[in-house]
Chain A
Amino acid sequence: MSLQVQGLHAGYGRLEVLHGVDLEVGTGELVAVIGANGAGKTTLLRALSGLLKVRDGTVLVNGTDVTGKGPEKLAASGLAHVPENRLVFPTLTVADNLLLGAYTRRRRPSAERDADRERALALFPRLADRLGQAAGTLSGGEQQMLAVARGLMARPTVLMLDEPSVGLAPRLVGEIFTALGVLRDDGLTLVLIEQNARAALAIADRGYVMDRGRVVFTGVPSELLGDARVQATYLGGDFSPAGGAGDGEPRPAGGSVAMEGG
């Protein structure tokens, strides 16, 4: 088990957003976490990567308790978080963004990091042509690829991605999700937070559906896609702006009509 989360509570100020989330991710598994805007998906990732204080519950990475550690420590213990809105380092070059992705491994031999970089670039070949370019000058899709590649440079136990499809053209979403599938096939463990539920479930091994700070449903993609309650949760659910996904709302994949039939 690469990642085990039990009874996780977290929030902002007096507002509790997560009311006891349980999540298990097996080694080599790609797990999608879906749910409407405001369901607590981003909050979950922020709590897992230490950006947000865990108020209660435990987080185990490879069986080791990492609850309450800060992001700097968690990055070193194998949790890589590819944040919402990419957050590449804009004036640094693509090469330097990748270099800093391996910051926790900066004392490792450079040959090892070079090999990792080659692997990441093989996954996203268009980054290879732009190594010397400032990351801020890349297109949105390229910045997302860079953010994923930067996360990979840490050689994570679990790679966690927050809404990698936001604001991207469908073709680019396809490219990135294909890459995630390749990573899973290579044995990497992934947690994918997505509002674009259909795209996420298309590549996931299992899915969790969140609503108002709780996991309300879990299962394999075919179960989730076929379940009426799930459709209600992420398609008919609460689209309040409080969740912070901001602009670039992904379309409810395919529309609700296509989802009928469970």
Chain B
Amino acid sequence: MTDLLQLLFAGLSQGAIYALIAIGFVAIFAVSGVINLAQGEFAALAGLVAISARASGLPLPVAVVVAVATVAVVAVVMERLTIAPVKAMTTLVSLILTLGVSTALKALMLLVYGPNAEGLEAITPGIVTVAGVSIRYQDLWILLVAAVVSAAVYWFYDRTVTGKALRACAEQPVAARLVGISLGRASLISFLIAGIVGALAGVLSSPVYFTSWESGLALGLKGFVAATLGGLVSIRGAVLGGFVLGVLETLTAGYVSTGLRDAVAFLLLIVVLVVRPGGIFGRHAEARV
């Protein structure tokens, strides 16, 4: 029982990271049909920037702000340089473009930060034991921040005019333009959101999972699977997908084999795409028009 609780908790913490990355995929895909393969690199870059900022003597909170701001700028510049100029964007074209950006970012990170994996220092170091389950304080921070950020993003899309305008672009791009909403600006905002949530995932996970120039690959893939589990157009679905994936992964690693851990995501993805193409939580009519 203690083992199960321990695994569940670890799974939730891991899942919270996937959820944040998944929100980034959904934010962009829902607005423009772009699948951003550089989403994982946003996380890795944020981790590395925070580590080096911390190493240069900045206090941790400042280092985190610098990292998130840097990645937000990178995301916006990426959108302007590689997405905005393309007149007839399709999902397939976006895969190739963002794969290019992902590769370039990885090369740049390797060049600037070297090949070693490092961990950012934890917000609160140490472990607390509750009912036999040992919990890192950092895991609590991860869950807290993921919950607050998910709620804030959800509120943004559900309550603000700008959020509703982004949803309008996703649902009826022609009508959105006719009421005066700029699709270009919507795409830019979606990348900004994706950059911020990706960066937060990166700085939160770094103390636990470490960060290197290539850690974005796994994070990006898992986040993508989580987003797809949720139907790829739903913030709520993405968050739930992240947690489901995180928990299943740790349970598999704990009870079956650690070697199978990374296979879980893709097995799950195949099953869901075959059985429920709209995502496990998706009403299938909710797909993008």
Contact = CB atoms under 8 A, between A and B. Distances in A.
A88 B180 contact: no
A83 B181 CA distance: 15
B165 A91 contact: no
A71 to B, nearest CB: 4
B178 A49 contact: yes
B53 to A, nearest CB: 37
Contact of A75 (B161, B171, B179): B179
B164 A92 contact: yes
B180 A72 contact: yes
Interface in B154-196: 161, 164-165, 167-168, 171-172, 174-182
Interface in A140-193: 150, 154
A96 B289 CA distance: 18
Contact of B174 (A80, A83, A106, A154): A83
A71 B164 contact: no
B3 interface: no
B171 A104 contact: no
Contact of B171 (A92, A99, A106, A154): A92
B176 to A, nearest CB: 8
B175 A154 contact: no
For this complex, into which size category does the number of interface residues on chain A fall? 20 to 34
A82 to B, nearest CB: 8
Contacts of B180: 71-72, 75-76, 103-104, 154
Interface residues of B, number: 18
A83 B138 CA distance: 52
B178 A96 contact: no
A104 B181 CA distance: 8
Contacts of A51: 174, 177-178
Contacts of A81: 178
A251 to B, nearest CB: 27
Interface string A74-112: 011000110100011111100010011101101000000
A36 B201 CA distance: 57
A96 to B, nearest CB: 5
Contacts of B289: 90
Contact of A72 (B161, B171, B174, B182): B182
Given A71-B177, A103-B161, A150-B179, A87 B167 contact: no
Interface of A: 49-51, 70-72, 75-76, 80-81, 83, 87-92, 96, 99-101, 103-104, 106, 150, 154
Given A91-B171, A99-B161, A100-B181, 15 more contacts: A51-B177, A71-B177, A71-B180, A72-B177, A72-B182, A75-B178, A76-B180, A89-B167, A90-B289, A91-B286, A92-B171, A96-B164, A103-B161, A103-B181, A150-B179
29 contacts: A49-B178, A50-B177, A51-B174, A72-B177, A72-B180, A72-B181, A72-B182, A75-B179, A76-B180, A80-B178, A83-B175, A83-B178, A87-B174, A89-B168, A89-B175, A90-B171, A90-B172, A90-B289, A99-B161, A99-B164, A100-B161, A100-B164, A100-B165, A100-B181, A103-B165, A103-B180, A104-B179, A150-B179, A154-B179
